[in-house]
Amino acid sequence: MAHWVSGEVAGLKRWTERLYSLQLHADIAPFRAGQFTRLALEIEGEMVGRPYSFINGPADPLHEFYFIVVPGGPLTARLIRLQPGDGIFVAPRAAGFFVLDEVPDADTLWMLSTGTALGPFLSILTTHELWQRYRQVVLVHAVRTADELTYRDRIQAALAAHAGQLQYVPFVSREAVPHALQGRVTAALESGALEARVGLPLTAEHSQVMICGNPAMVSDTQAVLEARGLKKNRRREPGQITTEQYWKT
Ligand SMILES: Cc1cc2nc3c(=O)[nH]c(=O)nc-3n(C[C@H](O)[C@H](O)[C@H](O)COP(=O)(O)OP(=O)(O)OC[C@H]3O[C@@H](n4cnc5c(N)ncnc54)[C@H](O)[C@@H]3O)c2cc1C
Ligand SMILES: NC(=O)c1ccc[n+]([C@@H]2O[C@H](COP(=O)([O-])OP(=O)(O)OC[C@H]3O[C@@H](n4cnc5c(N)ncnc54)[C@H](OP(=O)(O)O)[C@@H]3O)[C@@H](O)[C@H]2O)c1
C-alpha cells in the first residue's frame, strides 16, 4: 500500500480568520464516522503530514476537514493557501477508535466538543447507527466566541431530521450570547446547568459520553465525570467515557 494517495482540492471555506474547512477528492479506503486520516503537503522538500478528522459521512465521496490555523504551525499555514484543483496528499487508510463501534449502548449519548473537534461528531450524525442505538443524543459545541459556532446549517438539518431525539447545546466562553450557555462545559456539568438545559440526567446508568478536542477540556471533563461515578471506556472493561485529544499538552 502506497504511503500517500494524490488528492485534489475541491474547495476551501473560510469561517473566521482562523477557522477553515477544506473539501477534497481522493481515492482512499472507506472510513468509519469519527475516524481521522492524515493530510500532507510537500514543504521545502519534506513531506509534512498531520491527522485530521473526517467531517463528511462515510457515504459522502467529497471528503471534508475542519481546521484551525495554529500560529507557527507548518501545515495549517499552507493549507489555507490551497485553491480548487491543487494537489494534496492523503493517507490511503483512515485510523482511530473514536467511533460508535467502540461505544456501548445507553439511553443518551453525550457528544462534547471544543472548537474544530465538532468535526467527528458531524460525521457521526450522518450515520443510521447513531439514531438506532441511542434514544437521545446531545451535541455540545464549546467555543470562545459566537462566530466560532460553525456548521449551524448542518446542525439545523440534523435537528429537523431527528426532532425529539437530538439536542444541540452551544457554549460560548468569552462573550455573552443569548441562545448559548456561557462559560465552560466543566463548570456547567458541576453546577448541573447542562443537564438542566437539556432536561436529561448525565449518569453512569443512563449515559455514554464522547469527548473530543482541547486536551485540557478532555481531561478536566473526564475528571468531573469520574467524580460522579462514570469510568473510562475500555474494550476489556466497558465504561461510559470515550475520548480523543487533538494535541498534546
Ligand atoms: C487524532 C487527531 C485528529 C485531529 N483532527 C484535527 C481536526 O480535525 N482539525 C484540526 O484543526 N486539528 C486536528 N488535529 C490537529 C492537527 O493534526 C494538527 O496538529 C494541527 O492542524 C496543526 O498543524 P500544524 O502543522 O500547523 O502545527 P503542528 O506542528 O502540528 O502543531 C503546533 C502546535 O500547535 C498546537 N496544536 C495542534 N493542533 C491544534 C489545534 N487543533 N488547536 C490548537 N492547537 C493545536 C500543539 O501544541 C502543537 O504542538 C488532530 C490531531 C489528532 C492527534
Ligand atoms: N480561537 C482563537 O481565536 C485562538 C486564538 C489564539 C490561539 N488559539 C489557540 O488555538 C487552539 C484551539 O483554539 P480553539 O479556538 O479551538 O479554543 P480552545 O482554547 O480549545 O477553547 C475552546 C473552548 O474550550 C474551553 N476550554 C478550554 N480549556 C478548557 C478546560 N480545561 N475545561 C473546559 N473547557 C475548556 C474554552 O474555554 P475558555 O475560553 O474559558 O478557555 C472554550 O470555550 C488553542 O491551543 C488556543 O491556544 C486560538
List pLDDT tens digits, range 99-111: 999 999 999 999 9
Q: From CA 116, how far away is CA 150, in angstroms rounded? A: 9
Would you say residue 29 has pLDDT above 60? yes
Q: What is the pLDDT of residue 68?
A: 98
Would you say residue 52 has pLDDT above 80? yes
Q: Does the reported pTM lie above 0.85? A: yes
Measure 216 CA to ligand 2 centroid, in angstroms: 9
Measure 54 CA to ligand 2 centroid, in angstroms: 21
CA distances from 229 to 96, 104, 187, 224, 232 (A): 26, 16, 17, 9, 10
Q: CB burial class (10 A; 0-12, 13-18, 19+) of residue 124?
A: buried
For residue 193, give the 3-state DSSP assignment: helix
Residues with CB under 6 A from ligand 2: 18, 68, 114-115, 142-144, 171, 173-174, 184-186, 214, 216-217, 220
Q: From CA 109, how far away is CA 176, in angstroms rounded? A: 27
Q: From CA 185, how far away is CA 56, in angstroms rounded? A: 25
Average pLDDT over residues 185-212: 98
The residue whose C-alpha atom lies closest to atom 37 belonging to ligand 1 is 247
Would you say residue 89 has pLDDT above 80? yes
Q: What is the average pLDDT value for the chain, to the nearest integer?
A: 97
Measure 111 CA to ligand 2 centroid, in angstroms: 17
Q: What is the pLDDT of residue 151?
A: 98
- Residue (of 142, 151, 157, 57) closest to 99 by Cα position: 57
Percent of the residues in the chain that have a pLDDT greater than 90, as a whole number: 98
Q: What is the pLDDT of residue 248?
A: 86
Scan for cell 462515510, then name that residue.
Answer: 58
List pLDDT tens digits, range 136-148: 999 999 999 999 9
Q: Are 149 and 141 in contact (CB under 8 A)?
A: yes
